[in-house]
Amino acid sequence: MPRTVAEKRAAFRALHESGCFMLPNPWDIGSARYLETLGFKAIATTSSGFAWSRGRADNHVTRDAVLAHLREIVEATDLPVNADFESGFGATPDELAHSVKLAVKTGVAGLSIEDSTGDASAPLFPVDVAVARMKAARRAIDESGGDTLLVGRAENFFAGKPDIDDAIARLKAYSDAGADCLYAPGIKTREHIEAVVKAVGPKPVNLLIGGVSEFTLSDVAALGVRRVSVGGALARAAWGGFMRAAQGLVDGRFDGFSDAAAGNELNGILR
């Protein structure tokens, strides 16, 4: 029997209480359903993977399109879904709060808010502004029932400002503002991971591993990380196979299909 939204959210929160779990990122209904067949306990959307599937660059998809995507992923799987909600789709805290309420209505179990502005000349919101936005997201969730997990993201290492001390200060401020889970995408060294975990504990930390890594899941679990996501990496892997095969066709070759999944297998999995 399918789980209710409340049951999914409760299960998602329980995953953050101890241990470390993998949180893979599908980009469409098919990839979400396949990940569910592999036994993962939860999944997360990826703004980049979804944008590429729509023929757009990351962060260039409308709020309405993202909300529709969240709804279809939630409805496609019995797994809890964490939403990559970019920087919250609101120029002001009140506008952001309205967008967050719309996202909560899609049934997501978690929702992340970034502190990036999209402006190359000033890529991060000032801390006080970012905190006000996080508080607005917290308020919106609480007014919507309070059971959706709020993830606060410090985008320093993605925004060209790789200052670990500033990232940690931001994460601590977001924790104080009501974030349930903290996330600094782009940190890679053992020292940075340990520093973030120590700074925001006992709240859980999400670690992004978007490529080949020296770490295994058990390695980062030993460092105190509670969940590991892969961002757009699965979508990039799929695009890589597609691009190689397509480029081979340009040269009149078909060897790019050597690792293709069998149609009967896909039909069986997604039936």
Q: How much is the pLDDT for 53? A: 98
Return the CATH number at 103: 3.20.20.60
Is 271 part of a structural domain of the chain?
A: no
Q: How much is the pLDDT for 2? A: 84
- pTM > 0.95: yes
Q: How much is the pLDDT for 235? A: 98
Q: What percent of the chain has pLDDT over 90?
A: 99
Q: How much is the pLDDT for 146? A: 95
CB 100 within 8 A of CB 137: yes
Q: What percent of the chain has pLDDT over 70?
A: 100
Q: How much is the pLDDT for 181? A: 98
Q: Provide the CA 271 distance to its chain's centre, in angstroms.
A: 27
Identity (one letter) of the amino acid at 125? F
Q: Is the pLDDT of residue 1 over 80?
A: no
Q: Which of 42, 2, 3, 11 is nearest to 147 (CA)?
A: 11
Is 253 part of a structural domain of the chain?
A: no
Is 227 part of a structural domain of the chain?
A: yes
65-75 per-position pLDDT tens digit: 999 999 999 99
Give the Cβ contact number of residue 237 at 10 Å.
Answer: 12
Strands of 110-113's sheet, edge to edge?
21-23, 227-229, 205-208, 181-183, 149-153, 110-113, 81-84, 43-44
Give the Cβ contact number of residue 182 at 10 Å.
Answer: 26
Strand partners, 112: 84, 151
Is 147 part of a structural domain of the chain?
A: yes
Q: What is the count of structural domains for the chain? A: 1
Is 219 part of a structural domain of the chain?
A: yes
Q: For residues 168-180, b (16+ Cβ closer than 10 Å) or e, as one string?
A: bebbbbbbebbbb
Is 268 part of a structural domain of the chain?
A: no
Please spell the DSSP secondary structure of 158-186, one letter per residue. Answer: TTT---HHHHHHHHHHHHHTT-SEEE-TT
Alpha helix (H) ranges present in the chain? 5-15, 29-37, 47-53, 63-76, 93-105, 127-143, 164-176, 190-200, 217-222, 233-250, 263-270
Q: Please report how many Cα atoms fall inside a 13 Å half-sphere around the Cα of residue 45, on the Cβ side.
A: 34
Give the Cβ contact number of residue 70 at 10 Å.
Answer: 24
SS3 232: coil
Please spell the DSSP secondary structure of 99-147, one letter per residue. Answer: HHHHHHHTT-SEEEE--B-S-TTS-B--HHHHHHHHHHHHHHHHHTTS-
Give mean pLDDT, residues 4-15. 98
- Averaged pLDDT of the chain: 98
Tell me the two tokens of residue 163. 């200052």
CA atoms of 134 and 166, how far apart (whole Å): 17
Residue with tokens 């995953």: 15
111-154 per-position pLDDT tens digit: 999 999 999 999 999 999 999 999 999 999 999 999 999 999 99
Tell me the two tokens of residue 244. 């190689």
Containing domain of residue 204, as a range? 5-232
Which DSSP state fits 226? -
Give mean pLDDT, residues 26-53. 98
Give the Cβ contact number of residue 247 at 10 Å.
Answer: 11
Is 113 part of a structural domain of the chain?
A: yes
Is 48 part of a structural domain of the chain?
A: yes
Q: How much is the pLDDT for 163? A: 98
CA atoms of 63 and 237, how far apart (whole Å): 26
Give mean pLDDT, residues 7-17. 98
